[in-house]
Chain A
Amino acid sequence: MSSTTNQPTHHTSTIGAIGAPSRRNTELAMLVFAVVIPVFAYANVGLAIDDQVPAGLLSYGLGLGLLAGVAHLVVRKFAPYADPLLLPLATLLNGLGLVAIWRLDQSKLLQSIGVAGGKATNQLIYTALGIALFAVVLVFLKDHRVLQRYTYISMVGALVLLLLPLVPGLGANITYGAKIWIQVGSFTIQPGEFAKIVLAIFFAGYLMVKRDALALASRRFMGLYLPRGRDLGPIIVVWMISILILVFETDLGTSLLFFGMFVIMLYVATERTSWIVFGLLMSAAGAVGVASFEPHVQTRVQAWLDPMREYTLSRNGSSDGIVHSEQAMQALWAFGSGGTLGTGWGQGHSELIRFAANSDFILATFGEELGLAGIMAILLIYGLVVERGVRTALAARDPFGKLLAVGLSGAFALQVFVVAGGVMGLIPLTGMTMPFLAYGGSSVIANWALIGILIRISDTARRPAPAPAGNPDAEMTQVVRPS
């Protein structure tokens, strides 16, 4: 990478502050695509369903363009060296999600069961709130290391958020089994989405302090470094919390997400493979143990193993007292009916999934209408978001930033895997939503905040070091060349 800014050349013995290009214009160019593609998709849906360009096309395009423009200007002003890909990718996913939600809004079947109708407008409002939170993060969080101060407050906050759905009167039991929503007025909020971020902050702060103790004070046994008993404490506590979530909120996905995020961050902090082994063993033991007595989890596993049987039970009724759902099979049919190229926007029948067609199962709509090609593109977009996040972690200069970035990206990757894998029948279904694509305020707002934090870290990482360097010793520690 060539240096474009004037920099002092007399410090030849150290890696100087590299004047990376800010890449803001690249971001702007890609944002144009990220807005134009969903606008075309929107027109496509209208033409397919009503044979005319939808009336709201202009306002929709302007709305999305305005939001993207505001986000871009905020980044340009407050995080000029940020990664140029994250914002366009998130905008594209969010825009496509809006189109799919609007497409499902047109379904009379979904309207009749209250799942669809005006949801796209709501989602646009949520997106605006999400972008607002994104801007707030970038404007007020000048340096992500500030978050380090709130390590233990974050822990408390995360626990409170996770436990909220269990509070009587507050928890909303609006879907089969999983208790991961709370009801505030007429809104339902999924606190787990926010807990994801707060928990990552806590883990990053905690592990940054404890990493040496966890990494070095260990005994070697059969090629693995076994941690000391007292160092096992934190991982056991987190494991227990995950299990409790699984038992009381009956949500396999959230449980897996938090535990997986913790294991990833622990591994990065300590560089000890033994933690991965421990993590896998503990999560396997926990999942199997809980599944052996929790009927909700068992049903999900059975529906995964034999979705057709579950479909038949749901259609013909069963006497076992468990609510069976045909959704898993309906989602598979939607994917299969899409085939390689899909039916085209608006021409599928993913409304047959009925409940949660536009949230948990929205990927099936993409699968049916955009086909294998579309899903692969979407999965690659998610993959890019994750890899840009991990890239940010690599480039970050401080351990807290590295841990936080990898924790957030890892959680994002796990969430995509758990949801997409569940909908596609790779793993049992869980009650989470595809980030940005799915309908739901909590998810959109929380994920925009997540992207905001990643952009803040990447900005700090890529920002040229203050020149001239007043303290050569500090520069000596900068061994990572951001490129």
Chain B
Amino acid sequence: MNKPLRRIAIFCGLLVLALLVRDNWLQYVQADSLKDDPSNRRVTIARYSTPRGDIIVDGNPITGSTKTSKSGLNDLEYKRTYKNGAMWAPVTGYASQAFGANQLESIEDGILTGDDDRLFFRNTLDMITGKEKQGGNVVTTLNAAAQKAAYNGLEKQGGKGAVAAIDPATGKILALASYPSYDPSSFAGNSTDVDSKNWTKLQKKNNTDDPMLNRALRETYPPGSTFKVVTAAAALQNGLYKTAEEKTDSPLPYIMKGTTTELKNEGNIPCKNATMRVALQFSCNTVFGKIGSDLGNDKMLAEAKKFGFDQEQFTPIRSSASVFSDDMNSSQTALSSIGQFNTAATPLQMAMVASAVANDGKLMKPYMVDKLQSSNLDTIAQTDPEELSQPLSSENAQILQSMMETVVKDGTGKNAQIGNGVTVGGKTGTAQHGVENSENPYAWFLSYAKLGDGSTPVAVAVVIEDDKAVRDDISGGGLAAPIAKSVMEAVINSKK
């Protein structure tokens, strides 16, 4: 009987061997993917096992961490807190024990939890010296005063809206506000009776205001007349018109090419063969519609793309791609060139347009993370300003600046005037939307401020949607320009 016994011994050995091989597969080959699987609760437990690093604005943290009661079944030790959460939500996003994280909280999670590979050396040191692992900080480019001005302006105004402000010379994002907003503290924990209820209440399906939408980056609106800045830039860059003073070839009434439809102006304004300066001052649809039509789809698209249209921006929070369409006929191009038809832009995109004009034609890549720090404030990574493109030559940029400054000085944008030696260039917009323009238009304003020394510290774009006020009252100049003005003032004052 011994021969089969020996074989059985081998068979049992093979069973054990199979288990050993499987275990090596599981705990060696697959270990990391199982360990880091986001559904694996250990990932969440680790994320909240130490105080999370902070997100910093102007040297002050806008986030915090608080020790939760370890009573009961709570296995997560720390909870995220936010200062002025609703105001900063478009920047921070949320880090919730129950619902995960997004935006900066998610993108820079490795630094904030202290798990990032770049912190490896420090963590190893801490382990040897017996210190607890600590998260690093994310230092943002934002300007607290500007953000406050933007958010308060939107809140006071009361309608849905968003503000984006950029430092034109570097691309640093100075303000990024969205209204209505949400307080990420309200669902940072994981209790079913508080956090879950708050979360459910904020979801789009339960809240028509959609407060969790980051309108400054993720919502695209028809830019309306503010897009005429892009069209004017295209006209100058392509040599269609060489100066602001050159009379344009603009009939009135203007029948769009290939159609019998007349493109109308808002009211009776002096648009016939107007110069571009006058056309921008009075916001002539006929002049800029015809410029777009004359230049054609390809040239308009090329210029729009140089300003950043049709591509997502990673600030590092992703912004939606703004739209300028391809393959349009002449009349569609005309409509698109005055910011209607398919044209749609995020507030960040329009701030980029203003910033490129203000920065003598150079478009800087917008960013909001200045540097990443370890817990003892050593800089781990620093973002350097980066030129994205040059949509305008320096001379043409100055021509366009003077045109935009006329708009604020004498035209539709008077509400944005600052004075005290500060020159403001801007453009209003009132975009129609809804079937037969039945819904409230979007009120737009984009602008930049130029100081006495010629520097331009801030470019800003403001959009107000679905305003509760009567339709006729809405205009970019009336609703959006005052908010832009206060944001610019806040930036200028904080520089002093």
What's the Cα separation between A390 and B75 when bound, in Å? Answer: 46
| Interchain nearest-CB distance for A436 vs B (Å) | 16
| Interchain nearest-CB distance for A30 vs B (Å) | 20
What's the Cα separation between A338 and B40 when bound, in Å? Answer: 13
Does A420 sit at the interface, judged by CB under 8 A? yes
What's the Cα separation between A336 and B26 when bound, in Å? Answer: 6
Contact indicator per residue, chain B 169-191, by CB within 8 Å of chain A (1) or not (0): 00000000000000000000000
CB of B15 within 8 A of CB of A417, answer yes
Across the two chains, which residue of chain A brings its CB closest to B10?
A390
What's the Cα separation between A382 and B19 when bound, in Å? Answer: 11
Most B C-beta atoms less than 10 A away, residue of A112, A391, A414, A417: A417
Does B41 sit at the interface, judged by CB under 8 A? yes
Residues of B within 8 A of A420 (CB): 19
Contact indicator per residue, chain B 2-35, by CB within 8 Å of chain A (1) or not (0): 1111111101110110111011101110111111
8 Å CB contact of A410 from B8, B37, B45: B8
Across the two chains, which residue of chain A brings its CB closest to B12?
A413
Does A298 sit at the interface, judged by CB under 8 A? no
CB of A410 within 8 A of CB of B12, answer yes
Contact indicator per residue, chain B 457-478, by CB within 8 Å of chain A (1) or not (0): 0000000000000000000000
Residues of B within 8 A of A349 (CB): 41-42, 45, 75
Residue count of chain A within 8 Å CB distance of chain B: 52
Does B1 sit at the interface, judged by CB under 8 A? yes
Q: Which positions 342-383 of chain A face chain B at CB distance < 8 Å?
A: 349, 352, 367, 371-372, 375-376, 379-380, 382-383
The secondary structure that dominates the B interface is helix
Interface locus among A173-181, A262-270, A468-476? A262-270
CB of B5 within 8 A of CB of A406, answer yes
Residues of A within 8 A of B26 (CB): 332, 335-336, 367, 424-425
Q: A349-B42, A383-B12, A383-B13 are known contacts. Are A336 and B22 too (CB-CB below 8 A)?
A: no
Does A182 sit at the interface, judged by CB under 8 A? no
CB of B4 within 8 A of CB of A268, answer yes
Does B434 sit at the interface, judged by CB under 8 A? no
What's the Cα separation between A34 and B28 when bound, in Å? Answer: 28
| Interchain nearest-CB distance for B99 vs A (Å) | 14
What's the Cα separation between A332 and B29 when bound, in Å? Answer: 13
Residues of B within 8 A of A399 (CB): 1
Residues of B within 8 A of A409 (CB): 12
Q: A379-B16, A379-B20 are known contacts. Are A335 and B4 too (CB-CB below 8 A)?
A: no
Residues of B within 8 A of A383 (CB): 12-13, 16
Residues of B within 8 A of A116 (CB): none
Q: A379-B20, A417-B19 are known contacts. Are A336 and B31 too (CB-CB below 8 A)?
A: yes
Across the two chains, which residue of chain A brings its CB closest to B70?
A108
8 Å CB contact of A340 from B8, B19, B22, B31: B31
What's the Cα separation between A421 and B16 when bound, in Å? Answer: 10
Does A333 sit at the interface, judged by CB under 8 A? yes
Contact indicator per residue, chain A 247-269, by CB within 8 Å of chain B (1) or not (0): 00000000000000000100111
Across the two chains, which residue of chain A brings its CB closest to B26?
A335
8 Å CB contact of B5 from A268, A371, A379: A268
What's the Cα separation between A424 and B26 when bound, in Å? Answer: 7
What's the Cα separation between A329 and B26 when bound, in Å? Answer: 12
| Interchain nearest-CB distance for B418 vs A (Å) | 55
What's the Cα separation between A345 and B18 when bound, in Å? Answer: 26
| Interchain nearest-CB distance for B132 vs A (Å) | 14
What's the Cα separation between A380 and B72 when bound, in Å? Answer: 39
Residues of B within 8 A of A425 (CB): 22, 26
Residues of B within 8 A of A382 (CB): 16
CB of B5 within 8 A of CB of A402, answer yes
What's the Cα separation between A109 and B73 when bound, in Å? Answer: 6
Does A200 sit at the interface, judged by CB under 8 A? no
**Contact-residue bracket for chain B:** 35 or more
Most A C-beta atoms less than 10 A away, residue of B19, B24, B32: B19
| Interchain nearest-CB distance for A25 vs B (Å) | 27
Q: Which positions 40-63 of chain B face chain A at CB distance < 8 Å?
A: 40-42, 45
Does B39 sit at the interface, judged by CB under 8 A? yes
Does A386 sit at the interface, judged by CB under 8 A? yes
Q: Which positions 399-423 of chain A face chain B at CB distance < 8 Å?
A: 399, 402-403, 406, 409-410, 413-414, 416-417, 420-421
Residues of A within 8 A of B23 (CB): 335, 367, 372, 375-376, 379, 424
What's the Cα separation between A269 and B8 when bound, in Å? Answer: 12
Q: A349-B45, A379-B20 are known contacts. Are A337 and B12 too (CB-CB below 8 A)?
A: no
Residues of A within 8 A of B18 (CB): 417, 421, 426
Residues of A within 8 A of B42 (CB): 333, 337, 349, 352
Most A C-beta atoms less than 10 A away, residue of B15, B31, B39, B41: B15
CB of B34 within 8 A of CB of A332, answer yes
Residues of A within 8 A of B20 (CB): 376, 379-380
8 Å CB contact of B4 from A267, A308, A340, A375: A267
Q: Which positions 432-483 of chain A face chain B at CB distance < 8 Å?
A: 480
Across the two chains, which residue of chain B brings its CB closest to A113?
B73
CB of B1 within 8 A of CB of A269, answer yes
What's the Cα separation between A390 and B8 when bound, in Å? Answer: 8
Across the two chains, which residue of chain A brings its CB closest to B40?
A333
CB of B13 within 8 A of CB of A268, answer no
CB of B3 within 8 A of CB of A271, answer yes
Q: A335-B34, A416-B15, A420-B19 are known contacts. Are A394 and B45 too (CB-CB below 8 A)?
A: no
8 Å CB contact of B27 from A338, A386, A390: A338
Q: A311-B39, A337-B34 are known contacts. Are A387 and B13 too (CB-CB below 8 A)?
A: yes
Residues of A within 8 A of B4 (CB): 267-268, 271
What's the Cα separation between A393 and B30 when bound, in Å? Answer: 39
8 Å CB contact of A109 from B16, B39, B75: B75
CB of A390 within 8 A of CB of B16, answer no
| Interchain nearest-CB distance for B279 vs A (Å) | 58
Residues of A within 8 A of B40 (CB): 333, 336-337
Q: Which 5 pairs across A and B sit closest by C-beta, in order of nearness?
A: A336-B34, A372-B27, A383-B16, A413-B12, A417-B15
Identify 21 residue pairs between A and B in the complex whose beta-carbon atoms are under 8 Å apart, listed by A's number. Answer: A109-B73, A112-B72, A333-B35, A336-B30, A336-B34, A336-B35, A337-B31, A340-B27, A349-B42, A371-B27, A372-B31, A375-B23, A382-B16, A386-B12, A387-B9, A390-B8, A393-B5, A402-B5, A414-B15, A425-B26, A426-B19
Given contacts A338-B31, A376-B20, A424-B23, 14 further A-B contacts (CB under 8 A): A267-B7, A268-B1, A268-B5, A268-B8, A271-B3, A339-B35, A340-B28, A371-B27, A376-B23, A379-B16, A413-B15, A416-B16, A426-B19, A426-B22
